[in-house]
């Protein structure tokens, strides 16, 4: 069995303390990164809430459109005209008998 040679055998690592300015720069970069991530998260949550509100509003508007399309479709019919005359104008059929309590 052949032995593998360690490619780092002749390399000597020297550890030395970093300068205070380097520590401050790295710490500042970490803090700024965290602040940026929190700001972006807040913006994402706000955008999601806005999107959900807009979806709900779109559903309500679609329901209103359906109701109005149905109402428009009934306008030209005899039943639609009778409905408008009774509900909006307070009219009654000439053949109807109205009894009003005193």
Q: What is the pLDDT of residue 2?
A: 59
State pTM to two decimals. Answer: 0.53
pLDDT given for residue 44 in this prediction: 97
Residue 3 pLDDT = 65
pLDDT in tens, 35-90: 999 999 999 999 999 999 999 999 999 999 999 998 888 888 888 888 888 888 87
The burial class, CB within 10 Å (0-12 / 13-18 / 19+), for 74 is: middle
- Give the model's pLDDT for residue 72: 86
What is the 3-state composition of the chain as percent helix, strand, coil, each rounded to the nearest 5?
Answer: 65, 0, 35
Q: Can you give the residue ranges of every domain in the chain?
A: 21-87
- pLDDT band at residue 32 under the 50/70/90 scheme: very high
């Amino acid at each position: 069995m052949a032995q593998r040679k360690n490619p780092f055998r002749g390399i000597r690592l020297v550890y030395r303390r970093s300068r205070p300015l380097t520590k401050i720069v790295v710490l500042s970069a970490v803090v700024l990164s965290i602040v940026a991530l929190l700001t972006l998260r807040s913006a994402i949550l706000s955008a999601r809430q806005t999107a959900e509100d807009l979806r709900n509003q779109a559903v309500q508007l679609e329901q209103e459109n359906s109701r109005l399309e149905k109402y428009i479709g009934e306008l030209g019919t005899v039943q639609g005209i009778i409905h408008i005359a009774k509900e909006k104008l307070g009219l009654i059929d000439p053949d109807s008998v109205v009894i009003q309590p005193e």
